[in-house]
């Protein structure tokens, strides 16, 4: 396994991050524990979760599964860089969501209890809270750091200007501020390259891409359909996206076949080649899926292949593959 620093921090994390959103709803607790054990065997030390995962309001099912795995001992907690999130709705009463100081404190205590740990390595804001001032948010995060309950703070689903606003507010408080941003990012969804990724690079904020294969559409979906395997994700909006991008995905799968690589691993490898990306989040439902994803670390895409992928999946902006504002203005 390769490791890198999380943004400008000194924290070393694996180049792949184990996403746990399937633990509970899709994957049994026993299988989830086995997947986490195998991740450690592969050297993956970076795990991502959220207080709302498990999708039963207020219960934090996924965090509970991880907590019982930690409680089984064997140095599991000590070898894990644990990331979880705050913002999502955890109850029916006011102040059980978003980023008020009250909810940040209560949500952190709830996550610590479910995770059966006394600290969170990376505490991430799951979304922007436009109603709470940054001074309140950073004061609450600073109190948690002083208490030893969290170590680093990250964000998720922020726009570029949100990263700037958050960082500059932290600067006024003379605190570290954000070290990571978790955004949707893949060959089919490259919007972060316009504003978010340039801002993250400027401030030393590591980008953690989620949905790196766009819900399975970049995992060889057309080949699987031809082979009769189908794909469980090609329904609803995913089916519409597939039809709208069928020619591009067909060309992509052909390119991957020419390279002799699985499309899922090429999609992950492309992200690993992007400057500023720390670790794409993989969300395996089985050990076999986890094992397969490790191949992405070893794939080197040369300049010609990267250029071809850029042509097949251009930035969705008039200026093509350019950062903002050149993507839409002179």
Return the active site residues: 53
User: Which residues lie closer than 8 Å to 194 by C-beta, 6 or more apart?
Assistant: 160, 315, 317, 323, 324, 327, 328
Nearest one of 251, 252, 265 to 299, comparing CA atoms: 265
- 183 near 196, Cβ under 8 Å? yes
Q: What is the DSSP letter of 193?
A: G
| Angle at 126 (CA atoms; ends 31, 151), nearest 5 degrees | 85
Integer Cα distance of 164 and 71 in angstroms: 38
Tally the residues of the chain.
Answer: 330
Which segments within the chain are labelled E, that is strand? 3-5, 12-14, 17-19, 46-48, 81-86, 120-125, 150-156, 178-184, 206-210, 281-282
**What are residue 83's DSSP bridge partners?**
48, 122
The residue assigned the tokens 């839409």 is 328
């Amino acid at each position: 396994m390769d490791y890198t620093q999380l943004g400008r921090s000194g924290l070393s994390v694996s180049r792949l991050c184990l996403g746990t959103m399937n633990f509970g709803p899709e994957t049994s607790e026993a299988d989830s524990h086995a997947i986490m054990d195998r991740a450690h065997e592969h050297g993956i030390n970076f795990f991502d979760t959220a207080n709302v995962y498990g999708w039963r309001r207020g219960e934090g099912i996924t965090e509970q599964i991880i907590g019982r795995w930690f409680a089984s001992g064997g140095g599991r907690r000590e070898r894990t860089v644990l990331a979880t999130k705050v913002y999502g709705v955890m109850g029916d009463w006011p102040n059980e969501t978003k980023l008020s100081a009250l909810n940040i404190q209560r949500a952190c205590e709830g996550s610590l209890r479910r995770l059966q740990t006394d600290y969170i390595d990376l505490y991430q804001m799951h979304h922007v809270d436009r109603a709470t001032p940054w001074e309140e948010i950073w004061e609450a995060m600073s109190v948690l750091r002083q208490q030893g309950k969290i170590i680093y703070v990250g964000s998720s689903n922020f726009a570029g200007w949100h990263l700037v606003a958050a960082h500059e507010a932290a600067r006024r408080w003379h605190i570290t501020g954000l070290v990571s941003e978790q955004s949707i990012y893949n060959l089919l969804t490259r919007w972060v390259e316009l504003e978010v990724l340039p801002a993250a690079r400027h401030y030393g904020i590591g980008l953690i891409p989620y949905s790196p294969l766009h819900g399975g559409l970049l995992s060889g979906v057309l080949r699987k359909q031809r082979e009769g395997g189908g794909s469980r994700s090609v329904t609803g909006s995913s089916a519409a996206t597939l039809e709208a991008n069928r020619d591009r995905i067909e060309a992509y799968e052909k390119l991957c076949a020419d390279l002799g690589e699985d499309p899922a691993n090429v999609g992950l490898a492309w992200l690993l080649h992007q400057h500023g990306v720390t670790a794409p989040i993989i969300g395996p439902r089985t050990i076999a899926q986890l094992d397969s994803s490790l191949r992405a670390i070893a794939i080197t895409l040369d300049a010609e292949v990267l250029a071809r992928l850029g042509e097949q999946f251009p930035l969705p902006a008039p200026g093509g593959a350019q950062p903002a504002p050149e993507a839409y203005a002179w």
